[in-house]
Amino acid sequence: MAEHTTTPGNPLREGMTRAQRPTGPLLGIIVTAALFLAGQAVFLPLLGTGSGEGVTLGLREQLLFSVMFAGSLVLLAAWVRWKERRPLGSLGFVPASGAGRRIGRGAITALAFTGVVVAVNQLTGQAEFARDGLKAANLVPALLLLIGFAIQGSTEEIFCRGYLTQALARKWGLVAAVLIQTVFFAALHAANGGLTAVAVANLVLVALFLSFWSLAEGGLWEVCAFHAVWNWSQGNVYGAAVSNMHIATSVGDFRPKPGSNDLITGGGFGLEGSLLTTALLAVGTICALIAYRRSTVIRAGAKRSPAQ
């Protein structure tokens, strides 16, 4: 199949072109799945498996969860550096200029998203915080565990929106790359159990949202920050379930009221199973797609202008 032309000046999509020995799309899919699972294989039995009732992560388990993802990331870094022979930054972290601003933008967006879902649930009487109030003793551990979610969220972004998208788009085009990474991302979270139709729809939407957002940025700084703070704020700040995983080390204790509507609260799956999240992600996906198309025009114009 003929190689597709990359988006002019988009360093994220062009990442694989910097490889001396690039990985093709079929091998890219195999490598992504194999390295992601291999990095976690040693630790996964210690956490247990997902079920309809979910998994509860205490401080120890959540730290172990972070180590699992770090293992996968180390394996991918080794493959990129020594097999493909390209810089690690080409996975989505060049240029590094303005990284702090980009990280802040992603983090603030995530806090806004979770804040809206929590606030609407409270205002409509669907959910509430436990009467014992804030658990101040968990504040410092919760802040520490933000690092853990940064590792976990960034690993998923690097594998899906970074490496897999780059390996697929180079020969199969961007549409195929976005669709396949979306399926892969949803499948990863299906292993947690407790899926509902709304949860599946939200997994698809968030994959599309973050894909177009990363392409618009031309990198992964913002989506890594969004992913990390999205998970962390749900679990360690508000105390809600995160993709059917229940976080024990939380500052708040946000829970659905008896008789509440699971379509609004998300039920046992957490805020990611709520129709409120569906609405936010749908709007976010449209905005990210518009931003990506606009950025493509700007980059194309910038590439032509020197010759004019």
CA distance 277 to 265: 10
Question: How confident is the model over 280-287, as a mean pLDDT?
Answer: 98
Of 95 and 219, the structure prediction assigns the larger pLDDT to: 219
Task: Write out pLDDT tens, residues 53-109.
Answer: 567 888 888 888 888 899 999 999 999 999 999 999 999 999 888 999 999 999 999
Q: How many CB atoms are closer than 10 A to CB 52?
A: 10
Two tokens at 194?
A: 């407790």
Cis status of the peptide bond prior to 95, with omega within 30 of 0: yes
What pLDDT is stored for residue 305 in this prediction?
59
- Residue 63 CB burial class (10 angstroms; 0-12, 13-18, ≥19): middle
Kindly indicate the confidence band of residue 41, based on its pLDDT and cuts at 50, 70 and 90: confident
281 pLDDT above the threshold of 60: yes
Q: Domain coordinates of the chain in residue numbers?
A: 15-302
pLDDT of 49 strictly over 70? no
Please determine, for residue 259, whether its predicted confidence score (pLDDT) is greater than 80.
yes
Neighbouring residues of 173: CB distance < 8 A, sequence distance ≥ 6? 4
